[in-house]
Chains A and B, each alone.
Chain A
Amino acid sequence: MSNIIRVRGLSKVYHVGDVDVPALRGVDLQVERGEFLSVIGPSGSGKSTLFHILGGLAPPTDGEIFIDGVDLRKLTESERTELRQKKIGFVFQKYNLLPTLTARDNIAIAQALSHSSTRPAGFDDMLKLLGISNRLDHKPRALSGGEQQRVAIARALVNQPAILLADEPTGNLDTENSNAVLGILRDLNKRTGQTILMITHNPEAAAFADRTVAMRDGRVV
C-alpha cells in the first residue's frame, strides 16, 4: 500500500510577539491509503497544529509533507485552498455547519466551492448510512449534535476527498452519539476505503481506528 500522507521532520513555530513558540518539533508520520489512524495526545501536544498543516490551513515552518503525492511546502496559499477543495474533508469538534443553510445546502455549498456539480456515486446510500436522509431540509438549529456531526461528515465526503481529517469529532457528543459517529467513521473506512485521520484526546475514541499514534510536546512518541 502507498502512503497517502508522508511527513518527515515536520516543524511549526508560531511567532507570538517577540517569542517563538514551537508547536511541532520534527514530526515523522506515514499514513497508508485506506488507513484509519487516530492521533492521540493531551492538550498542547501539537495534534491540532498537525491537523491544520495536514489540512492545508497553515503552512509548515520546516520539514517534508506530502499529501496524496502533493508537496505541501511548494504550494501557495491559493494552491492550498484548492487542495482543501479537492483532497481534504474536514470534520470538526463543533460541527461547524453554516447556521443559515439547511443540511442539504451545507453539503451543497462544499460542492459549489469545489466547482463540482455531480454527487459521487452511492452518496445517497451514504446519507442513509449516516441516518440523515430525512433530516436534510432542516437547519442546524433543528438538528441534534449527533445529527449535525453526521451532516458534517456527509459534507466532508461529498467531494470524495483523499483524506478525511476529523478533529475531536466526538468532543461535543454524549456517549451514545459518540459511539454512533465513531462507528460510522469506522464503517465508512471499511466499506469505501476512505482514509481517515482522527485527532482525539480520548483513548476510547482512538480505539475505533486501525492504528493510533501518540503525540507529546510537538513530537510523535
Chain B
Amino acid sequence: MINKLVLENLKHRWVRTLLSALVVGVQVMLILTLVGLSRGLLQTSADRAKGSGADIFLKPDTQGTISFSTGQVSEKFVDFVRKQPHVAQAMGVLSQVAVLTTAVNGVDIDQLSKMSGGLHYLSGGPLKGPDDLIIDDYYQRENNKQVGSTVKLLNHNWRVCGVVQSGVLGRLIVSLTTLQELTGNLNPPRVSEILVKVDKPALTHQVVENLNRLLAGNLKAISTTDFVSQFTVSSIPQLQAFIQVITVVTVFVELLVVFLTMYTAVVERTREIGILKALGAKPFTVLDILVRESIVLAIIGCVLGILLSFGARALIMSLAPASLTVISVPDWWPKAAAIALIGALLGAAYPGMKAARQDAIEALSYE
C-alpha cells in the first residue's frame, strides 16, 4: 500500500516527476557519454595503432606511453633502430594535433604502406606532392571532402590526394618532411615516435628488451600488444580524475534537483503528512515514503539517462564521426544507477527528515 501511495504521489504531479527524472537522466547520460567517449577515442586510437602494422612502438623515455607530444625523438634513432637484429623495418612518425582529437601524421608513405601491408584507397592514391593529404573515410564523411578538395590544417592548405579506409595509424596522413617543416621539427629532423616491424613476430619481446637496453634514457620500446592494452581509461590518471570530477558534479546536481523536488513536495503535502501521522504513521514511515519516491525518481531518471545516452551517441557519431567516437558502455549502467541513487538519497535526506519531524497538529491545520 505504501508503494502504491508512493507511485500515486509521483503520478499526481507527473510533470514535476518527469522533469525531475529528466534532469537525473541528463546527468546519467552525461556520465555514460563521457565514459563512452573516453573509451571510444581510446579504442579507435588502439585500433589505428594496431592497423599500422608495427610490432613495436618507440617513444621518448620521459613521457607516458599515450601522449600527444610532437617531435621529441631525433630521427637519427630511426636508422639506429633499423640496424638492430630482427628489425625488419623502422619508420618515424610525426604527429601533430590539428582539430580536437584528430592528429595529422607525417610519414614516409612508402614505408607506411609496406609496414601496414598497404593502404586501402577508396579513391585517389598515395602522396605525391609535398602538400598532399590522405584522409580516411570518417574524416571524409564528417568534412565532406573529396579527392582534389583543399583542406586547411595547421595554417596550411593541403590537397586531398586519396581517401583510405580508416584503421591505419591516423585519419590524416601527410608527408613527414612537410609536417616537420611546418612544426619546426626539420632542423634537426625530429619525429614523435618510431614504429618497428620485426622479422619474426615471436621475437618481439626479445627485440623490445634489446631496444630498451640500448636506448635506455632516450627511448622506451613497447610491444604493440602492450601498447594497445594501455588504451584504457584506468591507465590514464588524468582521464580517470576527470571522470571522477564529473561524477561528483553529477551527484551534486542531482542532489540539488531531488532536494528541490522533495522539499517542494514536503511543503505542498504538509497536510497529507499530518493525515498520515494522525492515522498512525511513524516518523520513519514518513521518511520512508519520501525516500521511496526519490528512489523511483532515480530509477526513472536512470532509464531515461540510458536511453538518452544512445541518442547522444548517435548524435555525436553523426555530427563528428572522425573527431569523436562514442561506444556503448553497458558495464557502466549499474555504476550510473548507483550514482543516480546516491544523489537521490542525499537529496531526499533533508526534506524527508523535515517531513518526519513535522508536527501532526500543525500539519493538519496547514492550508
Contact = CB atoms under 8 A, between A and B. Distances in A.
What DSSP secondary structure best describes chain B's contact surface?
helix
B30 to A, nearest CB: 32
Interface residues of B, number: 23
Contacts of B12: 99-100
Interface stretch (A66-74, A106-114, A212-220): A106-114
Nearest to A159: B280
Given A81-B277, A96-B278, 5 more contacts: A81-B282, A92-B364, A97-B275, A109-B1, A109-B2
A108 B271 contact: no
Contact of A105 (B1, B272, B276, B285): B1
A52 B362 CA distance: 11
A82 interface: yes
A114 B280 contact: yes
Contacts of A111: 1
Interface in A86-129: 86, 90, 92, 96-101, 105, 108-114
5 contacts: A81-B280, A97-B275, A98-B276, A105-B1, A108-B1
B356 to A, nearest CB: 12
A111 B279 CA distance: 9
A85 B360 CA distance: 14
Given A57-B278, A81-B281, A96-B271, A105 B364 contact: no
B152 interface: no
A58 B4 CA distance: 29
Task: Determine which residue in B12, B278, B285 has the highest number of CB atoms from chain A within 10 A of its CB, and name it.
Answer: B278
B8 interface: yes
Interface in B1-22: 1-2, 4-5, 8-9, 11-12
Contacts of B282: 78, 81
Contacts, number: 66
Interface in B264-291: 271-272, 274-282, 285
Contacts of B11: 100
Contact of B8 (A52, A55, A90, A101): A101
Interface of B: 1-2, 4-5, 8-9, 11-12, 271-272, 274-282, 285, 360-361, 364
A114 B274 CA distance: 16
A47 interface: no
B5 A90 contact: no
B278 A55 contact: yes
A84 interface: yes
> 4 shortest A-B CB distances, which residue pairs?
A85-B280, A112-B1, A100-B8, A100-B12
A98 B4 CA distance: 12
Contacts of B364: 92, 96
Nearest to B1: A112
A85 B279 contact: yes
Given A52-B361, A57-B360, A57-B361, A100 B5 contact: yes
A54 to B, nearest CB: 12
Contacts of A97: 275
A98 to B, nearest CB: 6
B341 to A, nearest CB: 24
A81 B278 CA distance: 8
Contacts of A82: 280
A92 B4 CA distance: 24
B361 A99 contact: no
Nearest to A58: B361
B9 A100 contact: yes
A84 B279 contact: yes
Nearest to A113: B280
Given A84-B280, A85-B279, A109-B1, A98 B272 contact: yes
A46 to B, nearest CB: 14
B210 to A, nearest CB: 75
B244 to A, nearest CB: 39
Given A58-B361, A81-B282, A113-B285, A96 B1 contact: no
A168 to B, nearest CB: 13
A122 B282 CA distance: 29
A101 B275 contact: no
Contacts of A99: 12, 272
